[in-house]
Structure 1
Amino acid sequence: MILTASYPSLRGRTVFITGGGSGIGAGLVEAFARQGAKVGFVDIAAAPSEALVAHLGTQVETPPLFLPCDITDIAALRRAIETVRDRLGPIGVLLNNAANDQRHATLEVTPEYWDERIAVNQRPQFFAAQAVIPQMQARGGGSIVNFGSVSWMLKQGGMAAYTMAKASIQGLTRSLARDFGRDNIRVNTLVPGWILTERQVELWLNKENDKGRREGQCLDIRLQPGHVAAMALFLAADDSGGCTAQDFIVDAGWT
Structure 2
Amino acid sequence: MSNFPIFPDLKDASVLITGGGSGIGAALTEGFVAQGAKVAFIDIADAASQALCAKLETAYGAKPLYIKADLSDELAITDAVNKAVSENGSITVLVNNAAWDDRHKIADVDAAYWDKNIAINLRHQFFMIQAVVERMKSAGGGAIVNFTSTSYMLNIGDMPVYTAAKGGVVGLTKGLAGKLGPDNIRVNAIAPGWVMTERQKELWATPESVAENTAQQSLKHELQPLEMAGPCLFLASKSASAITAQVLIADGGIL
Q: What stretches of structure 1 of length at least 5 have no aligned partner? A: none
The 5 A counterparts of 1:169-248 are: 169-248=169-248
Q: 2: distance between equivalents of 1:124 and 1:54?
A: 27
CA RMSD of aligned residues (A): 1.1
Deviates more, 1:119-128 or 1:3-12: 3-12
Greater than 4 Å deviation, 4+ residue runs = none
**Corresponding letter in the other structure for 2:131:** A
Q: 2: distance between equivalents of 1:5 and 1:31?
A: 9
1:78-133 deviations in whole A, cap 9, x for unaligned?
A: 11011101110000100000001010001121111111111111100000011111
TM-score of the superposed pair, with normalisation by structure 1: 0.97
* Alpha-carbon offset, residue 211 of structure 1: 2.8
Report the equivalent of 1:4.
4
**Aligned residue pairs, count:** 255
* Alpha-carbon offset, residue 4 of structure 1: 2.7
Deviates more, 1:99-108 or 1:207-216: 207-216
Report the equivalent of 2:111.
111
Q: 2: distance between equivalents of 1:2 and 1:88?
A: 24
* 3-state DSSP of counterpart to 2:188: strand
* Alpha-carbon offset, residue 207 of structure 1: 2.9
**Corresponding letter in the other structure for 1:190:** I
Q: 1: distance between equivalents of 2:61 and 2:15?
A: 14
Q: Check if 1:154 corresponds to 2:154.
A: yes
Q: Check if 1:136 corresponds to 2:133.
A: no
Change in 2 beyond 3 A, CA 1:242/1:162: same
Work out the percentage of aligned pairs sharing the same amino acid: 47
* Alpha-carbon offset, residue 135 of structure 1: 1.1
Q: 1: distance between equivalents of 2:121 and 2:97?
A: 9
1:202-240 deviations in whole A, cap 9, x for unaligned?
A: 111113311320222111011111110010000111111
* Alpha-carbon offset, residue 61 of structure 1: 4.7
TM-score of the superposed pair, with normalisation by structure 2: 0.97
